[in-house]
Amino acid sequence: MNKILKRTLMPGLLAASLAGVSLVPAQPASADDKVLEDAAIGAGVGAVSGVIRGRNVINGAIKGAGAGAAVNGANGLRGTRRERAKRNIIQDAGVGAAAGAATDGITNSGKDTLGSAAEGAATGLIINTIRKK
């Protein structure tokens, strides 16, 4: 009896699971997913702050892009579209500061952690201002 059930049910179950798995990734990406835009905004903020502070512009752009992507990720973790629209400026600044400091630790061996945290916080504030509706 066990072999008969396996032979009759397994092909149908396998076909249904393969169809379900192949159809799920075919859904379009969410309109709220703007990681590249936030990373580009962060890169611009980082480059400008690098010029203002007399630092390496490319490193500033890299740190800013990392901070922008982190701010987007922190806001993307919220459940619904309405919750993602309610951005918290303190959270965005904090996430940007942490990401800027972490990126500085990776790219610059932590030689300018405080300045990078300030640049990241500025990135978070600007992204919050741009994205807030």
Distance CA 72, CA 127 (A): 9
Both tokens assigned to 23: 């159809």
Question: pLDDT tens-digit profile of 2-32?
Answer: 666 556 655 655 555 544 444 444 444 454 4
Domain ranges of the chain: 35-131
Distance CA 44, CA 55 (A): 14
Distance CA 131, CA 7 (A): 55
Instruction: State the pLDDT at residue 125.
Output: 93
**Chain-wide mean pLDDT for the chain?**
79
Return the higher-pLDDT residue of 109 and 24: 109
Cα dihedral 25→27→42→94 (10° resolution): -80
Distance CA 73, CA 129 (A): 16
pLDDT at residue 86 tops 80: no
pLDDT at residue 60 tops 60: yes
pTM of the model: 0.70
Return the higher-pLDDT residue of 42 and 29: 42
Distance CA 115, CA 130 (A): 23
Tell me the DSSP string of 25-92: GGSPPPTT--HHHHHHHHHHHHHHHHHHHTS-HHHHHHHHHHHHHHHHHHHHTSSSHHHHHS--HHHH
